[in-house]
Each structure stands twice: as C-alpha cells, then as structure tokens.
Chains A and B, each alone.
Chain A
C-alpha cells in the first residue's frame, strides 16, 4: 500500500512539475510561443496585438500597465476607446529587449508592434510591414519629415519615430566663471580651456568627459568626426569610416585623454558615470542629452549649467547628435484578416500619438516629441523644449537605415578601445573599412 502511495505521489509530482514548466514557459523569453495561441485566438472579431515597449524610465511600466496615466493606464484606456482590439503589451528593459525580440523572431513569434531603436535588419530580412500599410495618412503627415527620412530603405518607410533626444555641450557655468574662461567653440579653445581648468583646480576637476564604452562609443565617434567634416558615410552615403577627417578627429579625442583633460577610463566609464561626475561638480563640461538637468536634479546635484554647441575643429561646423527610437510593425502571415490587423495597428498608433496621450508620455520620459501636433502643448508646459526642438531640427543622425550599421557601430567602438590601448587608429579604421568593403 505504501509503495502504491509512493508511486501515486511520484506521478503527481511529475504532472505538477510538468504543469509548472508549462505555466512558467510564457514568462521566459526562450519560449513565449506557449502563450501565443491563446493570445492570438480571436474572440469573435476581436484582434489581439502583441506589443513590446522599451522601458525608458521608472515610470514607463506604470504608464502603460499600472495607474500612471491619470489613475488608469495606456492599455485599459486604449481598449476602452477601441472595442475589438486587445493589447498584449510588455514593457521590456533596454538591456533585455534585443535578446527578447531576437528570441521571439527565432521562435517564429515576432511581436505585432515593436518599439526599439534599430530597424534595418528586420526590414532587410523581410520581417517588417511598410508603414503605409497601416499608418493613417493624417498621422503620417504629422511626423517631422527629417525623422521619417531616417527610417527609409530603398524608398520605403519601415518605421515611425516614437520620440527623440538631442545632444549638446553642457557646462558648469560657475566653474568656467571661476576659472575665468569662456565656453569653447573650437578644438583649440577646448584644449586651452581644459588646461586652464586643470591648472586652476590642481587636477581635482576633469575638464571634459569622453565615453568610448560599448554603450555609446559610436556617439564619441560621431562628435569628433562630424566636428571635423567627416562621419560614418561620405557625401554619397557610402561607408567612409577611415577618412582622413575621421582619423584626425579620433586622434584629437585620444589626445585629450592622453593629456589628462578627461575622465581616466573612457572605455569603461559610461555616459551615466560622466553625468554623475558632472552632477557632483567633478567634471566641468560634458556632452549629454536634453534630459541632463532632470538627471542632475534627481541625483541631488545643484549645478548652475548652461548648454552650447559641441566644439568643432577650426573652420568646421559642429553638429549635434540626434538620437531617435522607433515603432514598427511585423508581418504576420498567419493573421486571418490582414486588413483588420493593419487597421488595428493604425488604431494603436493613432491612440499613441494623440496629443492627449502622447504629450504626457513624452514629457514624463523627458524626451523630445516626434510629431508636430505635440509641440505646442509641450512648449507651453516647458519653454526649454522650444530651444531643444531647434537643436533637433539641425542635428545629424546615425546612418541606422544601412544594413551594416550594427557592424559599423561595434567596429568603431572596438577601434576606439583598441586605440586607447595603444593601437594605431588609422590601421584600426582601415581594417573596419576593408571589412565593410569585403
């Protein structure tokens, strides 16, 4: 009897464990397919859209799924206003989103709508739908044209911008006044100002911040190559990472590090480390996005700061770096009614960019808007938005629409980091250019 009981217990355990495995599966990125059939199953004419939103800050989750949207949330409000369309929305951190999306694609379970920064690989591999298939014309006309241009491959728009930020030079006004120097506009002035700061503070303050980490080394490449008339691509849009201007630009940045004008470990000190130093009064100047004042305030810093253009080489024009994220829709051949699915995606976008919802979200996250209809309300709520929108209008973007962008991004970071350990930057960039040509 005892043995029979043991056997029964063992069998119960097996089933229990199997059941645990099944219920745990949807939560794991490796096997989200388990939850899929249920989510996709239409109840009558109901359509369920799988949506992935990136986590921009601590309030993102509350906004979309909690009660951060005036007591309600995005999903509930959307579903109330759009009967027949359900949202299966996940807020995923930036650290995990690439892993999550790639795993879902590998499992043939791509989301219907994805919010992320990159799009070219998905578009080139035929996974995305053209924006015109689902985006209402009125909404499409509302996007800033220079943003839309960043998501075009072979004349087709594959994604729409969700928000943007622009980088500028932030400087500690009190510090520069104390030293008795003006904010630098050229590289030569930057070196002079840096030396003056070093002399005045006896090396206790870093004059300048450089981030050549895996996170943002491509931004450093942009600052110093665009500021010297170079860049990732040439005038025809072809890769030109090893141009003379680029080599000179990066050599200038490396020189700043060598002369002790910057933070000591640019390969491992991220932009956030630099912002922390700036907030703590340990760094006089840093290139940062428009959210820096909020960031400094959150850190308890009380810095009298102002913004200026990013310094460029003599006779060259500096350019701000625009960073833009996107929303895109994946194909789903298994959807029973493609037209209805496209319409549902359109409804999602219309609701998302409706100023009533969008303005609150953009200002909560501290970014800049991507649609004209939000500008007026945002500028009214915070006049500093106006100046930043001007900066955004004139800034350059990464060539993220080119298929090799991932390779170039990691390649320039590796070149910078190798150069930091003594390698020749010319040889490093030549090798990357040859790899791209091959």
Chain B
C-alpha cells in the first residue's frame, strides 16, 4: 500500500519529465545563453568577449530607430491582436449558426491559417503591387477605377497593409478558439434566457461572453506572443524599410544583428522583448484568472 502511494507520488513527475527536459534544453537553456550574451561584448564577426555590464542595453535604447520600433511594435500587437479578436469573435458567432454551406465556410477559414506566413506575405505583396498587382487589375477590369492606384504610396500605408495581413492570418485561429467555446454552451441556457425575454445583446453579454471567456483568454495570450514574435510578414513585405520605419522589435533586432552587425544591442533588445512579453502575458493571465476566481 505504502509502495503504491509512494509510486503515485513520483509517477506524475516521470510523465512530465520528457516535456520538462525538452523545455529545459530547447527553451530555458537558449534563453539563459541570450541573457548571458546580452551582458557580453560581441564582435562584428560574432566572437563573444568579456562582461560589459549594461552597455549593450544602453546602446540599444539610444539607437535612433529604437523609439519608432517600439511604437510600431505596440501598434502592431494592439491592432493585430485586438482586431483579429473582434473579427474572429464575430465570424465564430456566424459560423456557429446553422446555414447551408457552413462546413465549407469553416474549411475555407482554415486556409489563411494553414498557409505559410512567408507565402501569405509574398502573395499579398503581389496583390497590392502597383505595376501589375491583382487588386489593380481586378479594379481596372471591372471599371471601378480608371487608373492604377499605388496601394503602397507611403510607409504608414505599407505598415497598415502589414497589419491587415497580420489580422487576415490571425483571425482563423481566434475564430476556431471561440467556436470551440461557443459549441460547448448548453443550448438550454439560451432557451431559458429567451423565455425570460432576453434579447440578442443581453444573451451575448450574460451568456455567450462569460462562457467563451476561457477560450478568448487562451487565444489572446497566445496571439500576443505569436504576433509580438511574428517575423515573416514584415520581413517579406518591407524588410522594415524605409530606415526601420516599418520594423517591429523582432525584425529590427534581426536587421541589427545580421545586417548592421550590432550583435550586442540586438541580444539586449531580444531580452527586453522577452521581458515585455512575459510582463504582458503575465498581467493579462493574472487579471483574467482573478476575475474568474471572483466570479
């Protein structure tokens, strides 16, 4: 009996061990290395030197593009996560209704999510191309416009396009998360609410939203991390041009390290990004979990 109890005590840890080992080797260890590198002198060729304290961090925050890159990152995460959450929620509500072709609609929605981001970004690059882009071709051929429009007329517009592509590829993930939450809601709740005279908005506020909140929490936290760390869309569409004005932190630190060969500040920036992400995801998770506990 005692042996069995003892075994029960350590058995879960044995089951957890493979995952813990994998995380330790492929996640924790590289993170520790980057932390160490961020306090080391790194030459242009990549040779790691001695300890330099916070020099890399000081250099990183004083780089001319630092402020604009941080702002871009904020706009990028807020707009992509925020708008894709709203749009994903609406689409999930629609797809949760019974209508002809629902299965096809749900399948089609997977496409943007299932396709590689580099391919998505390259395809959108072709769609909005001024010279022979598909969008201009379609609009010209249908007579909606008489002259080709430069859809990438300035860098703020290009950044908006990048955000739009980000939203386009993120919406399916939110939709499926919310849809799974919606499908788990017992239909009798809505019936009871209808009997009590509740309208659409009232049912949305008092039944739907509270019931899908766990799914929304998961999708939002994961999206904050994915979108913050997203590299392919911006790198493929503009490479941060002009002069880092469309860069986010991830693409900027890549350019800094491998184009400008400022490897020390680049590692410092990656640590800053990691800490920001931990902070944002942590605060969000704690807020939501506290609210759930209160309820």
Contact = CB atoms under 8 A, between A and B. Distances in A.
A268 B44 contact: no
Interface stretch (A44-52, A55-63, A98-106, A300-308): A98-106
Contacts of A10: 14-15, 17-18
Interface of A: 3, 6-7, 10, 13-14, 17-18, 21, 30, 98-99, 101-103, 105-106, 121-122, 125, 127, 213-215, 263-265, 267-268, 277, 280, 282, 406-407, 410, 413-414, 417-418, 420-421
A175 B172 CA distance: 48
B25 to A, nearest CB: 6
Interface string B257-268: 111110100000
Interface of B: 7, 11, 14-15, 17-18, 21-22, 25-26, 30, 42-48, 130-132, 150, 152-155, 158, 237-245, 255, 257-261, 263
Contacts of B244: 414
Nearest to A407: B260
Contacts of B14: 7, 10
Given A14-B21, A18-B21, A121 B44 contact: yes
20 contacts: A7-B14, A10-B17, A14-B17, A18-B21, A102-B45, A105-B47, A106-B46, A106-B47, A106-B48, A121-B44, A214-B239, A264-B152, A267-B241, A267-B243, A282-B131, A406-B259, A406-B260, A410-B259, A414-B244, A418-B243
A265 B130 contact: yes
Contacts of A406: 44, 259-261
Given A10-B17, A214-B259, A264-B130, 5 more contacts: A268-B152, A268-B237, A282-B131, A406-B44, A406-B261
Nearest to B258: A98
Contacts of A264: 130, 150, 152-153
A280 B237 CA distance: 22
B65 to A, nearest CB: 8
Given A7-B14, A10-B17, A214-B255, A268 B241 contact: yes
A421 B15 CA distance: 57
Nearest to A282: B131
A125 B260 contact: no
Contacts of B7: 3
B243 A414 contact: yes
A311 to B, nearest CB: 23
Given A268-B239, A421-B155, A122 B45 contact: yes
Contact of A214 (B22, B240, B245, B257): B240
A410 B255 CA distance: 10
Given A125-B44, A417-B243, A99 B258 contact: yes
Nearest to A104: B46
**Candidate in A125, A268, A421 with the most chain B CB atoms within 10 angstroms:** A268
Contacts of A417: 241-243, 245
A21 B22 CA distance: 9
Closest 9 CB pairs of A and B: A417-B242, A102-B46, A267-B242, A417-B243, A121-B44, A106-B46, A267-B241, A105-B46, A414-B243
Contact of B45 (A121, A214, A280): A121
B192 to A, nearest CB: 45
B183 to A, nearest CB: 33
A3 B6 CA distance: 13
Contacts of A213: 239, 241
Nearest to B8: A3
B26 A267 contact: no
A17 B18 contact: yes
Q: Interface centre among A98, A214, A418, A420, by most B CB within 10 Å?
A: A214
B161 to A, nearest CB: 11
Given A10-B15, A267-B155, A125 B22 contact: no
A406 B154 CA distance: 27
A410 B46 CA distance: 18
Nearest to A15: B18
A127 B47 contact: yes
A13 B241 CA distance: 46
A121 B259 CA distance: 13
B11 A125 contact: no
Contacts of A14: 17-18, 21
Contacts of A21: 22, 25-26
Nearest to B129: A273
A22 to B, nearest CB: 10
A121 B11 contact: no
Given A127-B45, A213-B241, A418-B243, A102 B258 contact: yes
Contacts of A30: 30
Given A17-B21, A214-B241, A282-B131, A125 B153 contact: no
A413 B241 CA distance: 10
Nearest to B260: A410
B11, B152, B239, B243 — most chain A CB neighbours (10 Å):
B243
B158 A268 contact: yes
Contact of B22 (A17, A122, A268): A17
B47 A125 contact: yes
Nearest to B155: A421
A421 B243 contact: yes
Contacts of B259: 214, 406, 410
